[in-house]
């Protein structure tokens, strides 16, 4: 769960190629997405046949989004229906296990025959939780393994580590380690109350993708209509452009401000239009404390840059759009606490962002370009006279108190994103994500 999340509704249909949950490289879960934004669809269709084995079975999982990405599945024996936030920026998967007045969905461990809490003296409690930012401990009764997690938006949750069965379609994955949470604080309780928990997808040993044994996963979020696709496992397609890969950064020694299980890449420079920002490479490198790492996070909506880099980008983008965009003259307005470059735009005259300068993020071996309407985001329910208010979709990490660069999902639209866990790399390729479902033969 991240400080910013995008308004998105997703429906997932899982095509499961094999019935076990240890996925060698040639076994893949295809998860088509349908998305609906809280604005006219700008963001996350004749069908070709899916290249699957003859014995492939089809199961369906509901996947939707309000403020957070959520997946619907079943947990426990007998199965209980739950909805979980899908978050590539987190490790521990967890469920609300205590009913409160504001929770509409909880998991009842006492009704499950397969629920098994982990004793605090267990080696599992001591070793399997080593990647968690907050060390596991004993509960107040000194009996069970106590886990706690906190997020950049100040939300936190805590409870008991336990084994439980995950049921996805017609397949059951026994002995999955998750948190059964009974207390916490949410910075957005209205939205968080609509889900049962969270599914962590980072590189930690307890994450969903690690426990399930997927060698890689990919997703593609449309910037044009309500379609998209998410794949768990290995896959290649003739219609997909060649991916440009950048290595994941590995740090062996613990550093106070470096998340070792995040999807960390190396940002090397930023170009606005045809002009590279005049910045030394050192400003993009993590320092001796680990501050300044660059994380690719599908759970964060926008992209946040460390102060000096953000200031340079803000200055150059403002210079190149002078006379094209009308700046919002309100020094007290900062969108989402970190985005202080906003504009007044008269939509009645028709809005086109095609003449804005492209912003390109340069990585080692790969490049991500942001252009057109992805550069600006309309602030919901805010107007300045007859004008709408739009803000630049890059923010200042310093204003959020985050010691990192974060590449959010808004700038990953119409980019095929592949996370290769075996070769420790991330691949990018620009593509029409709205056509991905059609090409995979899925009826969206």
Give residue 83's pLDDT band: very low, low, confident or very high (50, 70, 90).
Answer: confident
Q: What is the pLDDT of residue 185?
A: 65
Can you tell me the distance from the alpha carbon of 192 to that of 410, in angstroms, rounded to the nearest whole number?
21
**Residue 411, token pair as written in the block:** 């700038």
Highest mean pLDDT among 1-15, 74-88, 113-127: 113-127
Q: Is 1 exposed, middle or buried (0-12, 13-18, 19+ CB in 10 A)?
A: buried
109-136 per-position pLDDT tens digit: 999 999 999 999 999 998 999 888 888 9
87 catalytically annotated? yes
Catalytic residue among 297, 340, 420, 434: 297
330 catalytically annotated? no
Q: Which residues contact 256 (CB under 8 A, 6 or more apart)?
A: 289, 290
Q: How far is CA 400 from CA 310, 313, 380, in A?
A: 13, 17, 20
134-152 per-position pLDDT tens digit: 889 999 888 999 999 887 6
Task: Give residue 90's Cα distance to chain centre.
Answer: 9
Q: Which helix (H) or strand (E) holds 321?
A: none
Three-state DSSP state, 320: helix
CATH superfamily of 244-439: Acid Proteases (2.40.70.10)
Residue written as tokens 């509409």?
Answer: 104
8 A C-beta contact, residue 253 and residue 288: no
138-189 per-position pLDDT tens digit: 998 889 999 998 876 667 889 999 999 988 766 788 999 999 999 876 655 5
Q: Which helix (H) or strand (E) holds 215?
A: none
Q: In 3D, which of 120, 142, 256 has the Cα closest to residue 128?
A: 120
Catalytic residue among 87, 234, 259, 434: 87
DSSP assignment string, 357-385: PPEEEEETTEEEEE-GGGGEEEEEEEEET
Q: Boundaries of CATH 2.40.70.10 in the chain?
A: 15-233, 244-439
Long-range Cβ pairs for the range 283-288 (8 Å, 24+): 283/308, 283/309, 284/309, 284/405, 286/249, 286/251, 286/255, 286/257, 286/258, 288/255
How long, in residues, is the chain? Answer: 444
Query: Lowest-pLDDT range, 175-189, 216-230, 405-419?
Result: 216-230
Q: Is the pTM of this model over 0.85?
A: no
Decide the pairing of beta strands 28-34 and 15-16: antiparallel
CATH code of the region 15-233 = 2.40.70.10
Q: In 3D, which of 278, 282, 196, 219 has the Cα closest to residue 427?
A: 219
């Amino acid at each position: 769960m991240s400080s910013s999340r995008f308004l998105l509704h997703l429906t997932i249909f899982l095509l499961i190629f094999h019935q076990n949950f240890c996925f060698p490289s040639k076994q893949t879960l295809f998860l088509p997405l349908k998305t609906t934004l809280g604005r006219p669809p700008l963001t996350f269709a004749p069908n070709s046949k899916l290249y699957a084995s003859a014995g492939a079975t089809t199961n369906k999982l509901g996947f939707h989004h309000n403020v957070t990405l959520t997946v619907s599945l079943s947990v426990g024996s007998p199965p209980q229906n739950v909805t979980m936030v899908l978050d590539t920026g987190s490790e521990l998967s967890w469920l609300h296990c205590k009913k409160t007045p504001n929770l509409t969905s909880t998991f009842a461990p006492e009704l499950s025959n397969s629920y098994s809490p982990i004793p605090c003296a267990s080696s599992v409690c001591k070793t399997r939780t080593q990647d968690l930012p907050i060390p596991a401990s004993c509960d107040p009764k000194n009996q069970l393994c106590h886990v706690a997690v906190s997020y950049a938006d100040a939300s936190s949750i805590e409870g008991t580590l336990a084994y439980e069965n995950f049921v996805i379609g017609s397949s059951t994955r026994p002995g999955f380690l998750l948190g059964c949470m009974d207390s916490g604080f949410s910075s957005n309780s209205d939205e968080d109350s609509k889900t049962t928990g969270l599914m962590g997808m980072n590189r930690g040993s307890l994450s969903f993708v690690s426990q399930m044994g997927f060698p890689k996963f990919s997703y593609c979020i449309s910037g044009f209509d309500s379609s998209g696709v998410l794949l768990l496992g290995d896959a290649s397609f003739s219609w997909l452009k060649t991916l440009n890969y950048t290595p994941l950064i590995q740090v062996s020694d613990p550093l106070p401000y470096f998340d070792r299980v995040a999807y960390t890449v190396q940002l090397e420079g930023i170009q606005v239009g045809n002009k590279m920002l005049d910045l030394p490479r050192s400003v993009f490198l993590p320092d001796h404390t680990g501050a300044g790492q660059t994380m690719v996070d599908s759970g964060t909506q926008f992209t946040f840059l460390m102060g000096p880099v953000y200031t340079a980008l803000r200055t150059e983008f403002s210079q190149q759009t002078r006379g094209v965009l009308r700046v919002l003259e309100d020094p007290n307005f900062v969108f989402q606490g970190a985005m202080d470059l906003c504009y007044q735009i008269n939509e009645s005259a028709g809005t086109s962002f095609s003449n804005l300068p492209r912003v390109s993020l340069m990585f080692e071996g790969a490049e991500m370009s942001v252009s057109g309407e992805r550069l600006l985001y309309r602030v919901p329910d805010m107007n300045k006279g007859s004008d709408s208010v739009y803000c630049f979709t890059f923010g200042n990490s310093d204003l959020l108190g985050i010691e990192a660069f974060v590449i959010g999902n808004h700038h990953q639209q119409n980019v095929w994103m592949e996370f290769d866990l075996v070769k420790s790399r991330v691949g990018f390729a620009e593509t029409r994500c709205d056509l991905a479902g059609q090409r995979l033969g899925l009826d969206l």
